């Protein structure tokens, strides 16, 4: 009985750790069950994240925040609107300005009052932005507000943000959870004077020695990226990976409950399937393959490309002819659009948007990559099929002359 209880305890802890890795901010609103697990195992999680990845974990009554450092330029987890469309730079700007306005807001406020605070914050930042100026501005503003509602930093007490997005005269009353709002940003912006310094500070690893820094960076790369390719590492990290890859794999397996696939070309963590099947489409090492229409289209495209191009063993990357990628993308996007039409999602992306999402997912999953293409006339120019794509080759699919 004791052994079964220990196994169940380990499974719970690892599930909580995987959720925090995929969603650094979880709340009673966004993930009530996961938050309960994190709270139950907070001591273990705090110690393990600090020792294995050098991350700090803050756990409160209604939220948990994993504060990540390092790899800012390498690892990004973009925000998405409810429609599935990614945040635009303007939506990010309004989200940041709204957080600044919330610092001065009362526990109960209105959208109109927040809009006034956003205008003031924009003015202080030297930006000419007004969320009530026109429909496009208001929608970008509402995208940030909706994301804050999803986290639980805001609650619609009276009125609807969706109605306000359509009609700017609609009044919406909002309750503010300042504790959650304060932890949306992992690092306080006023700690630096320029954006470059801000990113550089978050990118740096605060560790005790160079050897420790190399080891910590490798562990973060393994945990946060889908595949770590040896060819893409600098010499110290490549040497460290060769000599300590199984030690790093064991530490991460104990924290995350993952398997490790080690090949000559690189190393990848294989997460349990429930993370990959998350309906919200979390990006990260467990995001591919997924269950949504874009993920399925990406899987189909990858299988066809890997089969037709047939990357030779130990090759890091194989160029994809632009004409071939154009043709295969058109085929899978056409089928994908039909799948979107059968879902409950109100926004059906246009073919170019769908194609861009498919390529972005495969790039983020480290299955495709794109080299610098200055002056490229088509979005399908400059793409390469990476080594890990070979595992998705379909032996039943006929090869073409493209190889």
Residue 29 shares a structural domain with residue 101: no
Residue 341's pLDDT is 58
Residue 386 shares a structural domain with residue 292: yes
Instruction: Categorize the per-residue pLDDT at 276 as very low, low, confident or very high, splitting at 50, 70 and 90.
Output: very low
Residue 350 shares a structural domain with residue 385: yes
Domain carrying residue 128: 89-182
- At 329 the three-state DSSP class reads helix
Residue 275's pLDDT is 44
Instruction: Please indicate whether residue 164 or residue 76 has the higher confidence score (pLDDT).
Output: 164
Q: Is residue 165 part of a domain?
A: yes
Residue 162 shares a structural domain with residue 251: no
Q: Is residue 79 part of a domain?
A: no
Give the highest mean pLDDT range of 127-136, 149-158, 210-219, 281-290.
Answer: 149-158
Q: What is the pLDDT of residues 85-121, one digit of tens each?
A: 788 999 999 999 999 999 999 999 999 999 999 999 9
DSSP 227-289: -EEGGGS-HHHHHHHHHHHHHHHHHHHHHH--EEEE-SSEEEEE--HHHHT-TT---STT-SS
Instruction: Categorize the per-residue pLDDT at 375 as very low, low, confident or very high, splitting at 50, 70 and 90.
Output: low
Residue 258 shares a structural domain with residue 300: no
Residue with tokens 């069950």: 33
Residue 385 shares a structural domain with residue 359: yes
Closest alpha carbon to 353 in 324, 379, 385: 379
Residue 216 shares a structural domain with residue 161: no
Residue 28 shares a structural domain with residue 94: no
Residue 95 shares a structural domain with residue 137: yes
DSSP annotation of 366: T
Neighbours of 323 (CB within 10 A): 11
Residue 263 shares a structural domain with residue 313: no
* Dist CA 269 CA 256 (whole Å): 10
Instruction: Categorize the per-residue pLDDT at 359 as very low, low, confident or very high, splitting at 50, 70 and 90.
Output: very high
Greatest C-alpha distance within the chain = 66
Q: Is residue 282 part of a domain?
A: no
Whether 157 has a pLDDT exceeding 90, the answer reads yes
Average pLDDT estimate for 198-219: 73
Closest alpha carbon to 148 in 81, 195, 203: 81
Question: Cis bond leading into 289, ω under 30°?
Answer: yes
Residue 205's pLDDT is 55
Instruction: Please indicate whether residue 41 or residue 83 has the higher confidence score (pLDDT).
Output: 41
Residue that terminates a domain, selected from 67, 97, 124: 67
Q: Is residue 146 part of a domain?
A: yes
Q: Report angle CA 270, 251, 218 to the nearest 5 degrees.
A: 75
DSSP 152-217: TSEEEEES-HHHHHH-TT---EEEE-HHHHHTSSSS-GGGSSSHHHHHHHHHS---SSHHHHHHHH
Q: Is residue 281 part of a domain?
A: no
Q: Report angle CA 367, 398, 300 to the nearest 5 degrees.
A: 35
Non-local (6+) Cβ contacts of 292 within 8 A are 84, 279, 281
Instruction: Categorize the per-residue pLDDT at 355 as very low, low, confident or very high, splitting at 50, 70 and 90.
Output: confident
**CB-based contact 385:247 (threshold 8 Å):** no
132: domain CATH number?
1.10.10
Distance set, CA 66 to CA 63, 155, 186, 260, 287 (Å) = 10, 23, 8, 23, 19
**CB-based contact 59:42 (threshold 8 Å):** yes
Structure tokens at 286: 């467990």
Counting the structural domains of the chain, the total is 4
Q: Is residue 203 part of a domain?
A: no
Q: Is residue 401 part of a domain?
A: no
Residue with tokens 């006929």: 398
Q: What is the pLDDT of residues 236-250, one digit of tens each?
A: 999 999 999 999 999
Residue 388 shares a structural domain with residue 296: yes
Instruction: Categorize the per-residue pLDDT at 274 as very low, low, confident or very high, splitting at 50, 70 and 90.
Output: low
Residue 344's pLDDT is 52
Q: Is residue 147 part of a domain?
A: yes
Q: Among 180-194, 246-260, 265-279, 288-302, which stretch is predicted with the lowest mean pLDDT?
A: 265-279
Whether 2 has a pLDDT exceeding 70, the answer reads no
Residue 266 shares a structural domain with residue 299: no
Neighbours of 116 (CB within 10 A): 15
The sign of the torsion formed by the CA atoms of 388, 390, 391, 394 equals: positive
* Dist CA 53 CA 57 (whole Å): 11
């Amino acid at each position: 009985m004791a052994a079964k209880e220990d196994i169940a305890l380990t499974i719970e802890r690892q599930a909580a750790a995987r959720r925090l890795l995929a969603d650094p901010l979880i709340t009673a609103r966004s993930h009530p069950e996961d938050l309960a697990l994190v709270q139950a195992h907070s001591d273990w999680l705090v110690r393990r994240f600090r020792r294995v990845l050098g991350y700090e974990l803050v756990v409160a009554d209604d939220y948990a925040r994993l504060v990540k450092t390092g790899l800012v330029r390498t690892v990004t987890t973009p925000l998405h609107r409810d429609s599935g469309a990614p945040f635009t730079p303007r939506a990010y700007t309004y989200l940041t300005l709204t957080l600044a306005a919330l610092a001065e807001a009362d526990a109960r406020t209105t959208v109109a009052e927040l809009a006034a605070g956003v205008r003031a914050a924009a003015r202080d930042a030297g930006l000419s932005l007004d969320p009530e100026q026109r429909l496009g501005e208001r929608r970008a503003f509402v995208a940030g507000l909706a994301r804050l509602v999803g986290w639980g930093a805001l609650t619609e007490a009276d009125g609807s943000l969706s109605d306000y997005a359509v009609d700017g005269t609609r009044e919406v009353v909002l309750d503010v959870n300042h504790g959650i709002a304060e932890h949306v940003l992992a690092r306080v912006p006023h700690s630096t004077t320029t954006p470059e310094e801000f990113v550089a500070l978050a990118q740096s690893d605060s560790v005790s020695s160079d050897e420790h820094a190399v080891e910590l960076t490798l562990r973060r790369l393994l945990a946060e990226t889908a595949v770590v390719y040896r060819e893409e590492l600098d010499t110290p990290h490549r040497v460290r990976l060769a000599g300590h890859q199984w030690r790093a794999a064991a530490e991460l397996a104990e924290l995350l409950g993952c398997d490790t696939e080690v090949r000559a070309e690189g190393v990848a963590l294989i997460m349990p399937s429930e993370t990959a099947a998350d309906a919200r489409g979390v990006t990260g090492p467990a995001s591919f393959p997924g269950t949504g229409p874009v993920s399925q289209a990406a899987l189909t495209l990858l299988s066809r490309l890997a089969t037709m191009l047939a990357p030779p063993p130990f090759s890091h990357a194989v160029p994809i002819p632009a004409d071939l990628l154009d043709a295969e993308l058109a085929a899978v996007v056409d089928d994908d659009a039909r799948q979107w039409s059968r879902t409950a999602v109100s926004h059906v992306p246009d073919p170019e948007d769908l194609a861009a999402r498919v390529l972005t997912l495969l790039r983020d999953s480290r299955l495709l990559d794109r080299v610098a293409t200055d002056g490229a006339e088509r979005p399908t120019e400059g793409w390469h099929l990476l080594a890990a794509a070979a595992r998705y080759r379909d032996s039943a699919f006929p090869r073409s002359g493209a190889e």
